[in-house]
Structure 1
Amino acid sequence: MTDGGTTDGSVPATGHGHDSGHGSEDDHGLPATTDIRRWLVTTNHKDVGILYTVTALFFLVFGGVLALLLRVQLWTPGATFLPALSYNQAVSAHGLIMVFWFLSPFAFGFANYVVPLQIGAKDLAFPRLNALSYWLYLFSGILLGVSFFQGGTFEGGWTMYAPLNLPVYTPNIGASTAVLALMLFTASVTIGSVNFLTTIHRMRAEGLTLRRMPLFTWTILLTVWMMLFAFAALLAALLILTSDRLLGTQYFAATGHAGSLLWAHLFWFFGHPEVYIVFFPALGVMAETFQTFTGQRLVGRKWFIAAMVLVALQSFFVWMHHMFLTAINLQIKTLFMATTIGISLPFDLMVFSLIYTTIKGRVRFTTPFLFSFGALILFILGGITGVFLGAVVLDYEFRGTYWVVAHFHYVMVGGVTALVGGLYYWYPKITGKMYDEYLGKLHFAAYFVGFNLLYFPMFLAWETPRRDFSYAEAFIPFHQLSTIGGFILGLSFLIMFYNLSKSLVAGEEVGDNPWKFSTTTEWAVPSPPPLENFPGRPTFSKGMLEFKTRASGASELAEGRESVADGGEGVADGGEEMADGGTVTASHDHDDDHVSHASIWPFVIGVGSFFVFLGLSGIQEGGFVPGLEGGFYLGSALVGGVVGGGGLVAMAHEEFYGPTGPFGESWPFSGVENTKLGMWIFLASDVVLFGAFIGSYAFIRVAEGWTNWHHLIPAAHVPLPGLINTYILLTSSFSVVLALVACERNSRWGLIASLVTTFVLGVAFLVNKGLEWLHLFHVNSEAFPQGWDFTTNVASSTFYLTTGLHGLHVTAGLLVTLYLIWRAWNGAYLDDDRPVEYFGLYWHFVDIVWLFLFPLFYIL
């Protein structure tokens, strides 16, 4: 069963109570925060948020050290501080680490900690999946680190353009490991996206409508919607690239331009939404801190939200402006120039909203506000310079130069500026201690000077070629200023680390709410919050924060002035408006509706995944590298598969109590249970994954010539095996329906028979597919004397990889079917058929996908 309810397994549930952070173990069975075991088994959203934040800061240091190495190399043109290939690896790894392993995870450390508190939830909808998302993130980063010791990591740039991403140009095993690490990271993102979307849509407190939701939570909601679809496209690109590197398929082959263009389309369909995926949480921090430190509700709040929604939608329609220098025709380039300039207009509205909020309020220049205000200034400059790149003619001149580097960093690291402000803003809530304000302001001063000294000279030296350490001598002063700025920026973070660590040990203790005008719900509970967050069930049904107690059904009004859901102005009992937005405290009754907080299995699955992907990196041209080295990689994959698979089975059978919801507002999904909604959201992501594969097939086929495609396919590739498999899968869908009918009729043997039938039909599908593949592998004709396998041509590559991906989905479904049969044999599902229903959704989706693949690959 899933995290969203109870299960009837053999592992005892964790206990209940609040974590004091002292002693060896609380009455949840969750060790104290001083015990290392706590951090291996915890599923609590606040602990996971801390893990994300600390790990992201580690990757900030990792990527920052690489950046400083680059700046030392660029002190003079053509310097050899690093060998040429090492420089390329440092450039590539720096970009990958900062964009993937630092920026988004840093923001989602705050999201994990704060969002459930802001919406009145005890935890995320699926706590164990939340922990699993973190462990996959951590081990994906470790895997990237391992790639440096496998002959060198990826050296083709963080965008991994084809054909440089192929083994002929980047042959190191470490390059494949870097791609696999990114794939594992993408799996983490997908799990987290499903979790956050389900939580925010289903777990909001009573009275907390979407319209009244805090702005930081709004930005996270839009961010995870973008992540769900953008990272699915990236996963498709990475799966294809992994196949090219490990199996020898021909998607991104160097011959012709179709492969290079295909990679660019897939990558930038992800890549441009990624800019807003990174920046939106920073925008949410800016909105929260501007409201808090001006004492003023955000001016034009509803238009601010509408502008964010518009940007989130538009972000998927601007990707081709990254491809203006390709052979795309001028009409399409002009269209994408218009969409690119158009997406800047909603940002103008948001910028003016923040500026007017500052003008109308009473500003207090605290450290969080300074970083947020600094981020606004930096983003304005980054946005203006980005509009230059949105014009086709100017892009022809600026593309591939340091103008792009400077613009990119003013936007992305400008977002980091706000996130650092968020770290200071929520630090008292997370730790219960106040940071040193003087050191915080000193950090900001050094940061702001270092930032502009590092990146602004790049605009002046814009003719420097990107990713090249040779440049004209006229630009030496600018690059030396940038290098000095880089070291100042790096040293500023040492001030931050000293400040936060010193404050954690000896900082001033704070109460529930150290900020005078903060009004969102996280400030209504102690600092740090208790394990289950709230003294009762939060409600905003009367327009103010209350806590309902389970025993009496009564509502306990929050003492003092009221919290309002949207962080705006509160209303006192007499109806008088509160100019300062209100402060909040809470009564401390206890709610008996407890949830579990500990499970070791997400960690175990993460370990298994690490070894599986490490093992896969040793595959070259369809087989493991020869000798003892190949044996190590094979053994790693096998051990990882056993550990990870065992962890999955154990987690599925573990007795675990997760928050069920809804507790109030859940529009537009009020009639959909948590796990069912999670399944629908996952399948929406899978639609994009298969859509990217089908789109890739269509793109390459059009490039090769739609009718010429038939010359790449042997006559032995006939429709009959595909037709037989179509009937098999349609019949298997019917047997899943019969399984649900058997549950409704309380027929144990009918349920088992239906599930066994589904399993047999699924196996028959795979056997038939395997026989077809074997036949095609060994076909012997004049046109294909060596058979028709993965590496024969691009047509064979698209056929095997797309139908193979579908076959993996069938295999996953069969493993779940076996588990369902075992559980049904023991009497499960007759009184609760939801697991069978959710499996049916997945199985029907897989069958529907085949209905698209059959005509594409067998008839057309």
Structure 2
Amino acid sequence: MSAEAEQSTDHGHGLPPASSVKRWLVTTNHKDVGILYTVTALFFLVFGGVLALLMRIQLWTPGEGFLAAVSYNQAVSAHGLIMIFWFLSPFAFGFANYVVPLQIGARDLAFPRLNALSYWLYLFSGILFGVSFFQGGTFAGGWTMYAPLNIPVYTPNIGASTAVLALVLFVASVTVSSVNFLTSMHRMRAEGMTLRRMPLFSWTILLTVWMMLFAFAALLAALLILSSDRLLGTQYFAATDAGGSLLWAHLFWFFGHPEVYIVFFPALGVMAETFQTFTGRRIVGRKWFIAAMVLVALQSFVVWMHHMFLTSINLQIKTLFMATTIGISLPFDLMVFALIYTLIKGRVRFTTPFLFSFGALVLFIIGGITGVFLGAVVLDYEFRGTYWVVAHFHYVMVGGVTALFGGLYYWFPKMTGKMYDEFLGKVHFALYFVGFNLLYFPMFLAWETPRRDFVYPEAFVSLHQLSTVGGFILGASFLVMFYNLSKSLLVGEEAGDNPWAYSVTTEWALPSPPPLENFPGRPTFETGMLEFRRGPGGTERSGVEAADGGEPTADGGEPSTDGGAAYVAEIEAESGHDEDHASPWPFAIGLASFVALLGFSGLQQGGFPTGLSGGFYAGLTGGGLVLLGWTLVRLARERFNGPVGPFGESWPFENVENTKLGVWLFLASDVVLFGAFIGSYVFIRVAHGWTDWHDLIPEAHVVLPGLINTYLLLTSSFAVVLALVAAERESRWGLVASLGLTFALGVAFLVNKALEWLHLFDLHGGAFAGGWLPSTNVASSTFYLTTGLHGLHVIAGLFISLYLIARAWGGAYLDDERPVEYFGLYWHFVDIVWLFLFPLFYIL
């Protein structure tokens, strides 16, 4: 047996038992990954919650308390970052990982190993952020990281740089997850599971990941630029005369406002599912509900400047964004009324999941109404930077999370097979709801308190003390939740397959917890009844039948199915292959990324400091990069059988194979990344003065090197085309030669670029006698960083081409040229980007 086959046997189809630590380190099954996400997110809830309680203790009286000023700023900043990034969205995606494949009739997500990788990148990014506390202190400039407070002059600790790199790693996790979910939900739905029939929770996740794909790419651009300013000494956000502070605000809030809906949409999906289940009534106006969500997802990218009314943007632009803010509130009105009318038309059962979902609706309405004040330019002048914003923000964001706790209770029986204690669940809700309002509502009354400051007027002491009491009651409510769930997991009563009388989505037709591969065969959603075909001649109904043209009732009527009906055919006839569920390499890649970025955090002005500390960080960087390269190769070489598909509607990607769609989605995200870099260059140049920009550039920066590189890359793209033709014609040596030519031309591009840079670094005489370095001025910063990002893409492409050459030498790709095609898509994209960079940085 070959080593590769042995590897597949060791890490493939069989999973260690759930009681084994190894199981959780190597699993790629979507249900296991969902549990890992959920448990880890709850840990970060506790982490961020403890920091919040420290803040509330400090605010018991105005003035400095047991925390020093810098420590308080670190607690405020870390609390915001942990809750926004490491708790809110990952908590929702714990449910998404577990439930969405079940709801759409998939055996797993399209790329199981990428799913596991997204989790490990998420976990190690959180660990990296935790390490930042031990490197002189973490970031202390607020969770929005406004410039210029985000540069080393004001936040000099190494830990602050580590916090930024932790966010970079987190965004990598989000990108991997977004590509995977979009491919799965568009290409892996079961037969008959059209978008129109898809359950509302899955709809909210689909729209959420579309927003994540583009919004987080903009954040990644901002973080990479900030990392460069902190580690390499570039001058983007230090260039206040060229609009550096305003540039950060644009980049951050282009991400930041869609992030509100990225957090809230999954909670909205939980509310819809639980309202349907516990009223026995399908959501009123379902198609309009979906249309409103689509409209909000689209509009979310055109309202970001309402966070910037206090900046120097002109009044006409502010008025335009005030109008878009009002516009995006209208679809939410429709969704809120649909939920309320569903309650009116149905018969409510006040279970714990319903109480949390209903509480979320109440809190969100308060948050939405108070947000209207901030959407008006004049009122925003008064409220911005006060505790009115803090209260509104938490009523929206934490209000949404309230529904996610309802989702935790709702799906806990499905995940564990055990039923939680209903009485303790209601105690949790009572403490939670009282504590929440006691904590945040007084902030509206004490709104003149300056945000992120522990000094406030004496008149507000009683209100802040009330908030502090509310904070501890809210914290105590989670002790009840953890006790309830842990006790129920150990000694709780068996939940059965479906503990809810009116649940109508597919996961409730499966055992609790579901089997490893979800279904005994291939499910379809073609009939009007939910049933399972166990053999060629018979069916077994689940007990849920659609009403014949009528509406279901809450008192014994039959609920209609949200998503159609399902039956499952024979596994031997329909499935066709065994799937793997384990791989050690996602964990290894996450660990290697953690080590490498921890090493990078020690960079200062482009180099490691002398001494033991510098050697430690340099060693971590080198070792981490080597480990990362090795683990990536092992992942690529591993034999892994993933789920097959599609079996049903794949609109609008019917003719796009899964891996190709994944590549296209990644490149779509990369378009936003490069667009943000190019937009940043244009923004700073316009702010500085378009023609005055030339005064910042030495005469030695000539066109010829860029022109040569343009010819090299265009020729390399032609070579990739030749490689694909050779693979299609089954010409082994033609394939190897063409890929080799692509590699050689890419290396020539990098050599030419390196020679150009070395020449510019070593200038003598004139205004740039010390050389034109990345830290010289803002023009050099934009040139080196933007073309450097492109160069990193070229380097990544060269490593891929080397891998392809090695495999092609052994005869690979002659019977399946698709890997060469996918590499070509990436390489052509890199070349197209250069066609934009060349005129911008060499001619204009």
Listed as ranges, the matches of 1:694-773 within 5 Å are 694-773=678-757
Listed as ranges, the matches of 1:620-631 within 5 Å are 620-631=604-615
Residue 772 of structure 2: which of 770, 788, 793 is its match? 788
Specify the alignment match of 2:481 in structure 1: 496
Displacement, 1:663? 1.4
State how far apart, in whole Å, the 1-side matches of 2:810 and 2:537 are. 43
Listed as ranges, the matches of 1:252-271 within 5 Å are 252-253=237-238, 255-256=240-241, 258-271=243-256
Aligned residue type for 1:636: L
State how far apart, in whole Å, the 1-side matches of 2:242 and 2:530 are. 60
Displacement, 1:256? 2.1
Listed as ranges, the matches of 1:615-654 within 5 Å are 615-654=599-638
State how far apart, in whole Å, the 2-side matches of 1:418 and 1:279 are. 9
Aligned residue type for 2:71: S
1:247 touches 1:622 (CA, 8 Å); kept in 2?
Answer: yes
Aligned residue type for 2:690: W
1:570 touches 1:578 (CA, 8 Å); kept in 2?
Answer: no
1:207 touches 1:543 (CA, 8 Å); kept in 2?
Answer: no
Specify the alignment match of 1:13 in structure 2: 8
Q: Find out whether 1:466 has 2:448 as its counterpart.
A: no
Listed as ranges, the matches of 1:227-376 within 5 Å are 227-253=212-238, 255-256=240-241, 258-376=243-361
2:162 touches 2:601 (CA, 8 Å); kept in 1?
Answer: yes
Displacement, 1:782? 1.3
Specify the alignment match of 1:433 in structure 2: 418
State how far apart, in whole Å, the 1-side matches of 2:578 and 2:833 are. 40
Q: Would the alpha carbon gap of residues 474 and 134 (structure 1) be closer, same or farther in structure 2, given more than 3 Å must change?
A: same
1:563 touches 1:570 (CA, 8 Å); kept in 2?
Answer: no
State how far apart, in whole Å, the 1-side matches of 2:566 and 2:550 are. 15
SS of the aligned residue for 1:559 comes to strand
Listed as ranges, the matches of 1:359-758 within 5 Å are 359-546=344-531, 554=536, 557-562=539-544, 579-581=558-560, 590=571, 591-758=575-742
SS of the aligned residue for 2:103 comes to helix
SS of the aligned residue for 1:211 comes to coil
SS of the aligned residue for 1:561 comes to strand
State how far apart, in whole Å, the 1-side matches of 2:707 and 2:542 are. 70
Q: Would the alpha carbon gap of residues 101 and 716 (structure 1) be closer, same or farther in structure 2, given more than 3 Å must change?
A: same
1:537 touches 1:548 (CA, 8 Å); kept in 2?
Answer: no
Aligned residue type for 1:342: G
Aligned residue type for 1:307: A
State how far apart, in whole Å, the 2-side matches of 1:313 and 1:543 are. 33
Q: Find out whether 1:90 has 2:56 as its counterpart.
A: no
Displacement, 1:341? 1.1
Q: Would the alpha carbon gap of residues 9 and 373 (structure 1) be closer, same or farther in structure 2, given more than 3 Å must change?
A: same
Deviations 1:472-508 (A, max 9, x none): 0000010000000000000000000000000001111
State how far apart, in whole Å, the 1-side matches of 2:736 and 2:538 are. 50
Specify the alignment match of 2:168 in structure 1: 183
1:810 touches 1:846 (CA, 8 Å); kept in 2?
Answer: yes
Displacement, 1:511? 1.5
Listed as ranges, the matches of 1:810-825 within 5 Å are 810-825=794-809
Displacement, 1:543? 3.4
Q: Would the alpha carbon gap of residues 750 and 587 (structure 1) be closer, same or farther in structure 2, given more than 3 Å must change?
A: closer
State how far apart, in whole Å, the 1-side matches of 2:173 and 2:47 are. 20
SS of the aligned residue for 2:541 comes to coil
SS of the aligned residue for 2:766 comes to coil
State how far apart, in whole Å, the 2-side matches of 1:563 and 1:773 are. 70
Displacement, 1:534? 0.5
Residue 790 of structure 2: which of 806, 823, 835 is its match? 806
Aligned residue type for 1:93: A
State how far apart, in whole Å, the 2-side matches of 1:371 and 1:319 are. 30
1:162 touches 1:254 (CA, 8 Å); kept in 2?
Answer: no
Deviations 1:722-747 (A, max 9, x none): 11111100100001000111011110
Q: Would the alpha carbon gap of residues 520 and 68 (structure 1) be closer, same or farther in structure 2, given more than 3 Å must change?
A: same
Displacement, 1:544? 3.5
Specify the alignment match of 1:18 in structure 2: none
TM-score normalised by L of structure 1: 0.95
2:241 touches 2:688 (CA, 8 Å); kept in 1?
Answer: no
State how far apart, in whole Å, the 2-side matches of 1:311 and 1:467 are. 30
Displacement, 1:571? 8.9
Specify the alignment match of 1:21 in structure 2: none
State how far apart, in whole Å, the 2-side matches of 1:70 and 1:450 are. 16
Displacement, 1:582? 6.0
1:41 touches 1:599 (CA, 8 Å); kept in 2?
Answer: yes
Deviations 1:648-670 (A, max 9, x none): 10010000001131011211111
State how far apart, in whole Å, the 2-side matches of 1:310 and 1:118 are. 23
Residue 148 of structure 2: which of 163, 181, 195 is its match? 163
Residue 121 of structure 2: which of 136, 139, 158 is its match? 136
Displacement, 1:640? 1.1
Displacement, 1:818? 0.3
2:526 touches 2:566 (CA, 8 Å); kept in 1?
Answer: no
Displacement, 1:787? 1.1
250-259 or 192-201: bigger deviation: 250-259
Q: Would the alpha carbon gap of residues 100 and 283 (structure 1) be closer, same or farther in structure 2, given more than 3 Å must change?
A: same
Q: Would the alpha carbon gap of residues 608 and 571 (structure 1) be closer, same or farther in structure 2, given more than 3 Å must change?
A: farther
Deviations 1:356-394 (A, max 9, x none): 000000100000000000000000000000010000000
Q: Would the alpha carbon gap of residues 776 and 50 (structure 1) be closer, same or farther in structure 2, given more than 3 Å must change?
A: same
2:544 touches 2:559 (CA, 8 Å); kept in 1?
Answer: no
Residue 62 of structure 2: which of 77, 82, 94 is its match? 77
Deviations 1:567-602 (A, max 9, x none): x99999xxxx96433699977954553211000000
Aligned residue type for 1:684: A
Displacement, 1:639? 1.5
1:562 touches 1:571 (CA, 8 Å); kept in 2?
Answer: no
Listed as ranges, the matches of 1:38-53 within 5 Å are 38-53=23-38
Q: Find out whether 1:779 has 2:774 as its counterpart.
A: no
Residue 174 of structure 1: which of 159, 169, 175 is its match? 159
246-255 or 161-170: bigger deviation: 246-255
Q: Would the alpha carbon gap of residues 11 and 267 (structure 1) be closer, same or farther in structure 2, given more than 3 Å must change?
A: farther
Displacement, 1:13? 2.9
Specify the alignment match of 2:829 in structure 1: 845
Q: Find out whether 1:212 has 2:194 as its counterpart.
A: no
2:387 touches 2:444 (CA, 8 Å); kept in 1?
Answer: yes
Aligned residue type for 1:88: N
Q: Would the alpha carbon gap of residues 556 and 65 (structure 1) be closer, same or farther in structure 2, given more than 3 Å must change?
A: farther
State how far apart, in whole Å, the 2-side matches of 1:29 and 1:641 are. 31
2:102 touches 2:518 (CA, 8 Å); kept in 1?
Answer: yes
Unaligned 5+ segments in structure 1 are 1-6, 16-24
Displacement, 1:80? 1.6
1:115 touches 1:217 (CA, 8 Å); kept in 2?
Answer: yes
State how far apart, in whole Å, the 1-side matches of 2:243 and 2:196 are. 45
State how far apart, in whole Å, the 1-side matches of 2:581 and 2:817 are. 26
TM-score normalised by L of structure 2: 0.97
Aligned residue type for 1:13: S
Aligned residue type for 1:717: H
Displacement, 1:555? 8.2
State how far apart, in whole Å, the 1-side matches of 2:297 and 2:175 are. 17
Unaligned 5+ segments in structure 2 are none
1:559 touches 1:585 (CA, 8 Å); kept in 2?
Answer: no
